Structure 1
Amino acid sequence: MYTTLIAAADLARHIDDAGWVVVDCRHDLANLSAGREGYAVAHLPHAVFADMETELSGAKRGPDGVFRGRHPLPEREALIETLRGWGVNEGTQVVAYDAHGGMFAARLWWLLRWVGHEAVAVLDGGMAAWQAQGLALTAQVDSKPRGDIAAHASLVSTVSADEVLANIGGGARVVVDARAPDRYRGENETIDPVGGHIPGAKNRFFKDNLGADGRFKDAQALRAEFAQIVGDPKAAIMQCGSGVTACHNLLALEVAGLGGAALYPGSWSEWCADPQRPVSTGANP
């Protein structure tokens, strides 16, 4: 069972296995149809497509009309139905991939753990690693029998905006922001109309989890780097712009043997929507 990362060569040995489901998670925040269009052109054999906006995220406003962020978590029941439609069974090994260093595939990895499914991994290096092995892509779309996956006790934890707010100033939990440094500092108004970060939050850009080859750094390197900002991972909160790339840091922590951190799903997009919530700017504290 693969529970964090899988190498392209290892996936290739199982690509035709009936007990495996491969999911294409490509996405573009600036062009919401780009992922599906790319999938239609070419994807890994037997892969299904996951839509970030409609399948890996839920309604942007809750039943009370309050904005929950750009990519709130989907309803658990809706996610289970999506997974069944992809052919995911209780014992299925799921592999998620993208072409963006795992920034979107990690979201599906986390979501499956959220509904209690442990056998899920991210293709290390994504499509580039697959193609570097000389492995084929296809435009063929397979039909899959409906799966029987069910929701189980969650393997991960989340925190709300109120919990993050209550933590400010107390120092009981460290908040780690996965956005690019300029966004964290409040210097990119194109992406973040309200710039800055949650007071006290540290910055760990998700791309820092990757080596020059686009694959994740090894466990020892990740452990050493995270140790500079995270003490007890069970007292850490991961966030980003909308709860997507924060999952990349959560995956990196898991690879490093530092599991247990929580996700703040609403992240910055939810946080800054309420002008009563405090905001800081500038460099990493």
Structure 2
Amino acid sequence: MTTPVPRIPLELPDDLVSTDWLAEHLHDERLVVVDVSVLGIDSPSGFRWVSGLDDHLIEGHVPGAIFADLIDELSEPGPYTFTRPGLERLARALRALGIDDGTAVVAYDASIGHWAARFWWLLRSAGFANVAVLDGGLAAWRAEGRELETGFRTPRAAGEPTLAPQAGYWAEGDEVRRIVRAEAAGVLVCALPPADFRGESGRRARPGHIPGSVNVPVGSLVAQETRRSLTGDALAARLAPATGGGAAPIIVYCGAGIAAAGTAFALRRAGRSAAIYDGSLEEWLADPEAPLVTLA
């Protein structure tokens, strides 16, 4: 009886891959491409997040891409919108997507990459290292006139992915409070737009930011024309408010932990460790006594 030869994993060049690299490797059976797009809509009942599945199926996606649901399947049910899933729930979701230890994963979204960064963060924090984000996402792929596919693609059969929690990726509310009270060193980074940070806009019951925070909006970390991530000196300049604290721990937050993932991902690419306050302002505002600061 012949023993199966183990499959040699596809090596990703970086945490951020180009459209050229993806096009070159698109048909490699060891690669799983995942569309994690989420859309925000205003409805008569108010603002809400909805799955990008319909656009994925009808408007088109990267050929062979599988759609992943960040709202339900990849979030833990509970009082907050995008609570990170436990390892069992995450492993079940990844297997359903065709992801196991023998696959490389490239994630993208139809926005500015923060949804893909959230997916990257979920996997890396659970010990799945062979994952990258597509630089520029679907917008860059479309702008280059590359092939699109419509309809549903059945995921490949997959085994059980090996997952184990990794330290340093997540922060809890108590850690944030200790920094606010000057009981611990740390830099708090708000990834929301400047107007939200100042308290001039936003959909939350109380406006503003957590005291002592600096503002590094996720939207400032990509080129507006191409949606590709900034690099080098341009990226360093945008991250400077977060990195000016020397070796102090960095904790990034936003409204519900998604924009924070984009900013935290950029910090990691720049060589700085950062953790995401997963509950972010949704959890912070659940405490009516939790302080907020406005600059308006």
Contact 1:219 1:257 in 2 (8 A): no
Matched, 1:104 2:115: yes
CA gap of 1:237–1:254, structure 2 versus 1, over 3 A, is same
Which amino acid in structure 1 is aligned with residue 176 of structure 2? Answer: V
Contact 1:24 1:49 in 2 (8 A): yes
Matched, 1:254 2:281: no
Structure 1 residue runs of 5 or longer lacking an equivalent are: 62-68
The residue number in structure 2 matching 1:40 is 57
Q: 1:10-32: per-residue Cα shift (whole Å, max 9, x none)?
A: 10111111111111111113254
- TM-superposed CA distance for 1:222, in Å, is 1.4
The residue number in structure 1 matching 2:239 is 226
The partner residue of 2:198 within 176, 179, 185 is: 185
The residue number in structure 2 matching 1:161 is 173
CA gap of 1:17–1:261, structure 2 versus 1, over 3 A, is same
Matched, 1:20 2:31: yes
Matched, 1:276 2:294: no
Which amino acid in structure 2 is aligned with residue 118 of structure 1? Answer: A
Runs of 4+ in 1 over 6 A off after TM superposition: none
d(CA) in 2 for partners of 1:155 and 1:113? 10
Matched, 1:235 2:244: no
Q: Which has the larger radius of gyration?
A: 2
Contact 2:87 2:164 in 1 (8 A): no
Which amino acid in structure 2 is aligned with residue 17 of structure 1? Answer: D
Map 1:79-228 onto structure 2 (within 5 A): 79-143=90-154, 144-154=156-166, 156-170=168-182, 172-189=185-202, 191-212=203-224, 213-228=226-241
Question: What TM-score does the superposition give when structure 1 sets the normalisation length?
Answer: 0.90
Q: 1:77-124: per-residue Cα shift (whole Å, max 9, x none)?
A: 101110011111213211111111102111101001011111111111
Question: What TM-score does the superposition give when structure 2 sets the normalisation length?
Answer: 0.87
- TM-superposed CA distance for 1:38, in Å, is 0.4
| Equivalent position SS for 2:118 | helix
Q: 1:16-53: per-residue Cα shift (whole Å, max 9, x none)?
A: 11111111111113254450110111111111111121
Structure 2 residue runs of 5 or longer lacking an equivalent are: 1-11, 42-47
RMSD: 1.8
Matched, 1:52 2:66: no
- TM-superposed CA distance for 1:228, in Å, is 3.4
CA gap of 1:91–1:141, structure 2 versus 1, over 3 A, is same
Contact 1:20 1:94 in 2 (8 A): yes
Q: 1:179-214: per-residue Cα shift (whole Å, max 9, x none)?
A: 11111122225x112211111011111011011321
Fraction of identical pairs, as percent? 37
CA gap of 1:2–1:270, structure 2 versus 1, over 3 A, is farther
d(CA) in 2 for partners of 1:14 and 1:34? 27
More strand per residue: 2
